[in-house]
Copies of this chain bind each other. A is one copy, B any other.
Amino acid sequence: MKKATLSDIAKELGVSTGLVSMVINGKARQNRISEEMSQKVMDKAAELNYRPNQFARGLKTGRSNTIGLIVADIANPFFGKVARAVEDYAGQHGFYVMFCSSDENPEKSDSLIKVMIDRQVDGLIIAPTEKSENQILSLKKNNIPFVLIDRFFPKIKCHRVVVKNKEGAYSAVSHLIKMGARTVGYVDISSGMWHMKQRFEGYKAALREAGVSFKTSLYKEVQYSLFHEDMQIKISDLISENPDIDAIFFPSNILGIQGIQVLKRLQKKIPDDIAIACFDDPEHFSLTEPGVSAIAQPIQELSRKVVDLLVHDINVDKKEHGEFQQIELGTQFIIRGSSG
């Protein structure tokens, strides 16, 4: 069964393809095509099970009604939920979403952006990786609509929607201290990304304000590339170098999830031996016993704002730079058993 085309309909009805095109696209009225004609076209289209060829349409109009979403890892629960929310909101605006995982790798991110642009996405949503500044600048230079989510580069002016990272970490660490912690470790992922630095700033601010001293031995950094092994090593180091350690703050969900497993393996009781809190609140933090105190991000709102900004930019076909929205949303700290 060959797919029906516009000209199949036109031929069968003895009219021009142009007319059929207008009817199909709901422009019958503004082109003053008769009701009767419209109806005949619609009926025939239905009869032939006509579906417009998006390639032809896109080639002609230059639009794909598709947006690209590049995150670190679609299987990470945080990004999984972001992806789902973006899919839903974009769908409401008539856009389809193409997802990709950059694996925190700038080369992969670069090639994904190219692939997306090759596929003529109308715009991009990106959670940028480390060292991808030039990619973002190049999007800007080429006037490709895009919005950054979750992360950003302070020096690059562009649309971005992120959360208050410093404030979020501050509230969690302050709570750990309030619950009695005096030696609070910090297990970071190795990354020059600004949002992670801000979380660390929040941690230090909380210590400072509580008069709790900071030592560099309390700060450990693990490599993304050999994540599982390195977590084990660095947390063991953290504990052996700080025998009096009574709490650890994990500044992201994958760090927290893996960190809990390591602590379990090391036979540390949470919160009795070591209290913990985590940035991000994946589903299962309410399932573990004790539950994990966590900083929940407003994923729905984050996603909605991002889609709104991007769709607006795509539709206005903006030429004028300058009006960049830099949105910071608040987080919510959820207290569960793990913090003591």
User: Which residues of chain A have a CB within 8 Å of any CB of chain B?
Assistant: 1, 51-56, 58-59, 64, 66, 73-75, 77, 80-81, 83-84, 87, 96, 98-101, 114-115, 117-120, 141-143, 257, 260-261, 264, 282-284, 286-289
22 A-B residue pairings within 8 Å (CB atoms): A51-B114, A53-B59, A54-B118, A55-B55, A55-B56, A55-B64, A56-B59, A73-B84, A74-B80, A74-B84, A75-B80, A75-B81, A77-B80, A83-B99, A87-B99, A257-B283, A261-B286, A261-B287, A264-B287, A284-B287, A284-B288, A288-B289
| Chain B residue, CB-CB nearest to A100 | B87
Question: Are B142 and A1 in contact, with the CB atoms below 8 A?
Answer: yes
Question: Are A119 and B284 in contact, with the CB atoms below 8 A?
Answer: no
Give min CB distance, A18 to chain B, whole Å: 18
Alpha-carbon separation in the docked complex, A260 to B285 (Å): 12
Alpha-carbon separation in the docked complex, A85 to B80 (Å): 14
Known contacts A286-B261, A288-B288; A77 and B74 CB within 8 A of each other? no
Question: Chain B residues near A99 (CB, 8 Å)?
Answer: 74, 83, 87, 99
Give min CB distance, A64 to chain B, whole Å: 8
Alpha-carbon separation in the docked complex, A92 to B106 (Å): 19
Question: Chain B residues near A98 (CB, 8 Å)?
Answer: 96, 98
